A and B are shown apart, each in its own frame.
Chain A
């Protein structure tokens, strides 16, 4: 690849900040984020789109960044786990994972938090089946998923309370 194809310029907005890198067009977005932008919160679990540890939001949609070629990221807006909290203020989903025991070893957690956010964006009040389906692309080997389900339910409740408070 390195001999035959030239690097291209990739410009995108990551966590609200403008980023410009040079990369091979078929380089993995995961590697661009981790190695070029030093955003190591996004993890590699399998490299084949099965585990979801590398999940990020690309133009608002959840993707496995190990399957996204760099060229697809050009001109896009990306949100990674580093862009979820505001400073030290955790998001409702992050707080819920902390309170409910949704994170154990933590390696699936960034992807799982992103998946939970994507789920709540689609279904603000998901039922059990929607939660299971919404998280089925993200593998966790520690929790048996129960506390992750509970975290999602808690996050709905707290974000609902916050919304109510602002009305």
Chain B
């Protein structure tokens, strides 16, 4: 098939709407009968609800008021487990727990009313840290505070310590991180017993919201409809939480009989919605004197917050990525997600992998030093290659050329010369320079048997005018899904890009192509688009209306003729796993992912020893991602992910106070600005993946993984200070540098 669009940077489908301000996000939608809704939340982290008081001076009879007892069906936000209520009725498990919902036409009065609701709570002992949760003195979830645990065992770690010349231990921590999409979350709902429930909103996964609304209203699935509005960024933050807001807006609509809009302001969005799971990882690594890894013992814990939500799957990805892209014959990973009385932590680009890759890539620099090897030399001696096995026992069947990626990254960054120059210039300098790197991989698509369970479906429909519509629940959230689907379909059909339309994701009109997560949309769903497109063309050819090598006019005429004579022209494709993939959930072993993207990132930093401020001054991102579908979009994904990860590494600090985010404002939760981000130089190596469209792999999450360890490795190179936690704010650096003389080898 001719690649007229694949590999080319065509204009993004919804680009004009976005640059002119015409794109309609949920807060831009208004309806004449619409009223506004707000959420009244708990004031403390854990307790028993004694009662709700409605203060004086508010005309309460004008308000729609919803509490748990107004829920027509089951009081739960259905996800993997069913432990999270839609509205707390008896117990409070985190300080932002929703308890009461209010709706009124006047936004200002609504805010006054929200403040006039008092929820009386008898406090119960609460748990706020991983350590307190693991100590199990106070049990806040299940029988032991453990939301999920995994064991991975490869070889014989206990037997291997004797063969190690050196054993290196280290503990690494990562903090919570706010997704900070610039569009706050919001939903509009209409709901009544006759017509059912319809919601419009800012979301990544229409069918997740759909699944959550069914039990809450106790309605048949076809009575629930979820429609995505233009969505101003997601990054995982709009994966599971939109179900909560959709349910709340719909309950208020059900009670009031009116259309209800709930749009969070920035403060509410920051404190109440999900964040990246904080983590603690302990490594114990055995290595021979010549730098061969002989044993990796990894103990990983993530903080899941008050309810299970997605922690089990975040932990899964964190676990599988925790041993890095290395061959080690003996690996033991013990991982747990534990509960605390904070709002549930959730999906955020990378989904656990950035946490565990931070730990292993920081740790390997320590291992290298312990055996007097350069960090790159240690890694070269242990890189995973074709036909070797990962920690889960997956045999890699593709060529993996980490040496080549490393060579290119070092050449583009001038690594060796800079390392030498900085070593000469740093002594006596106030601003110390350093350069560091990380080598890593990211699994594309759902983990283990996830894609098989999802069994995603895509449909294509031709119109009598010769346009083709892609019907999928995959959402455009800025990454370019609409554009990529259109490129793939246009090439498969041999027609122009402008003839492809991507339908608005609407559970009433599109099949379930799965959630827009896990770097799966281009690779997995894109492949389904291609299959359905090839099938559509085949249908026309087999009907005798079209020859294989047709012109666009012939295609248009054939569509018209087909629809006139035979009815609708619609094709459907469903996911089938690549042959030979096997995953065992009980032993946590096998083919964790169909494929991986592989990468080497290099960061250059300048550390001011007077202000303790570290800045990234140059960044090189080299990755092998299969074939590049759209060079501008692909580079945009990498650059955006790197910037977000620079924030994670240096700036973005969630200050916790008894389970509550104390700095829920952009004023004091600092994300990188245009002045903070260095040049990010992106390089792609392309090796076609046979089961992705035209050989493409997933890339969305990859760039979140490598920057933080690269940056901290560079800070160590600059200052000699071994930091083991992020964000490395000036406070953290100051403390570490002040204690340097005594604390460091």
A contacts, CB < 8 Å to B? 1-2, 34-35, 38-48, 50-51, 53, 80-82, 84-85, 90, 94, 97-101, 103-110, 113, 131-133, 135-149
Contacts and interface: CB of A to CB of B under 8 A. Distances in A.
B440 interface: no
Contacts of B266: 45-48
Contact of A145 (B179, B232, B643): B643
Contacts of A38: 30
11 contacts: A50-B667, A51-B666, A98-B11, A103-B19, A137-B673, A140-B182, A142-B636, A145-B639, A146-B635, A147-B636, A147-B639
B28 A146 contact: no
A104 B183 contact: no
A145 B675 CA distance: 9
Contacts of B14: 106
Interface in B15-34: 15-25, 27-28, 30
Nearest to A24: B108
Nearest to A97: B19
A147 B15 CA distance: 14
Nearest to B676: A136
B182 A41 contact: no
A35 B480 CA distance: 30
B671 interface: yes
Given A94-B19, A141-B640, A149-B674, A53 B182 contact: yes
A141 B675 contact: no
A109 B183 contact: no
Contacts of A34: 28
A52 to B, nearest CB: 9
A38 B109 CA distance: 22
Contacts of A136: 673-675
A133 B673 CA distance: 9
Interface in B625-639: 632-633, 635-636, 639
Given A98-B12, A106-B19, A140-B182, 12 more contacts: A39-B21, A43-B182, A43-B183, A44-B27, A94-B20, A104-B480, A105-B231, A106-B23, A108-B182, A109-B18, A136-B675, A141-B644
A105 B478 contact: yes
B235 A141 contact: yes
Contacts of B632: 100-101, 147
A11 B378 CA distance: 70
Top 5 closest A-B pairs, CB basis?
A41-B21, A105-B478, A107-B232, A106-B18, A144-B643
Contacts of A143: 636, 639-640, 643
Given A40-B24, A105-B182, A109-B18, A141 B674 contact: no
B180 interface: yes
A19 B673 CA distance: 35
B413 to A, nearest CB: 16
A142 B19 contact: no
Nearest to B17: A106
Interface of B: 9, 11-12, 14-25, 27-28, 30, 106, 108-109, 179-184, 230-235, 265-266, 477-480, 632-633, 635-636, 639-644, 665-667, 671, 673-675, 677, 679-680
Contact of A48 (B184, B667, B677): B667
Q: Which of B18, B639, B675 has the most CB of A within 10 A?
A: B18
B674 A148 contact: yes
A138 B672 CA distance: 10
A139 B182 contact: yes
Q: Which of A34, A40, A48 has the most CB of B within 10 A?
A: A40
Contact of B20 (A47, A90, A100): A90
B666 A104 contact: no
Given A85-B20, A98-B11, A144-B642, A139 B478 contact: no
Nearest to B29: A40
A105 B183 contact: yes
A144 B233 contact: no
Nearest to A84: B20
Contacts of A108: 182, 232
B22 A103 contact: no
B673 A139 contact: yes
Given A40-B24, A103-B19, A146 B680 contact: yes
Contacts of A135: 673-674
Nearest to A38: B30
A107 B183 contact: yes
Contacts of A85: 20
Contacts of B478: 104-106, 142
A133 B143 CA distance: 54
A84 B21 CA distance: 10
A106 B28 contact: no
Given A48-B666, A139-B673, A141-B671, A103 B15 contact: yes
Contacts of A94: 19-20
Contacts of B16: 90, 98
B666 A46 contact: yes
A98 B639 contact: no
B18 A103 contact: yes
B22 A41 contact: yes
A142 B184 CA distance: 14
A99 B38 CA distance: 40
Contact of B265 (A47, A99, A146): A47
A138 B666 CA distance: 12
A108 B18 CA distance: 9
Nearest to A42: B21
A140 B233 CA distance: 10
Contacts of A110: 21
Nearest to A41: B21
A139 B671 contact: yes
Contacts of B18: 103, 105-106, 109
A105 B233 contact: yes
B680 A144 contact: yes
B628 to A, nearest CB: 13
Contacts of B633: 101
B365 to A, nearest CB: 25
A93 to B, nearest CB: 8
A40 B229 CA distance: 14
Contact of A107 (B30, B182, B640, B671): B182
B20 A101 contact: no
B182 A141 contact: yes
B640 A41 contact: no
Contact of A45 (B106, B182, B642): B182
Nearest to B619: A144
Contacts of A81: 20-21
B636 A105 contact: no
A14 B679 CA distance: 37
Nearest to B673: A136
A145 B680 CA distance: 9
A72 B310 CA distance: 47
A144 B182 contact: no
Contact of A138 (B19, B477, B479, B674): B674
Contacts of B232: 43, 105-108
A51 B267 CA distance: 13
Nearest to A149: B674
B730 to A, nearest CB: 19
Nearest to B668: A50
